[in-house]
Amino acid sequence: MNLKDLQKMRLQFKKEGKNKEANIIMMLIDYSQKLAKEVNNEVNEIFIQKGLKKYIKQVEDSIKNGIESAKKEMEILKEFSEKIHAR
């Protein structure tokens, strides 16, 4: 999966009215872009996977701190993780 695939997925979720999913994809794109930028590189699958790991870690921390909405976010992230690793 590459950046273009993520952007297409985000737009599809927006069209379907799945704003939570679209926002999560946007955050994943943001994390991936920041990680790639730190080493002056283009976003590729490696940075997307690293971005996903970083995002999951942040959500896990939120769950530990008692933020209930983070549980739904984690469910969605796990689905994305399976899709990304399945490709």
In the chain, the domains with their CATH numbers are 3-86 (1.10.1510)
CA angle, corner 73, sides to 87 and 13, nearest 5?
60
Residue 30's alpha-carbon distances to 3, 25, 54, 55, in angstroms, are: 10, 9, 11, 10
Average pLDDT along the chain:
91
Residue carrying structure tokens 């080493």? 39
What is the value of pTM for the model shown?
A: 0.86
Residue 19 binned pLDDT confidence (cut-offs 50, 70, 90): very high
Q: Which residues contact 6 (CB under 8 A, 6 or more apart)?
A: 25, 28, 29, 32, 48
Residue 82 binned pLDDT confidence (cut-offs 50, 70, 90): confident
- Taking the C-alpha atoms of residue 76 and residue 56, their distance in angstroms, rounded to an integer, is 10
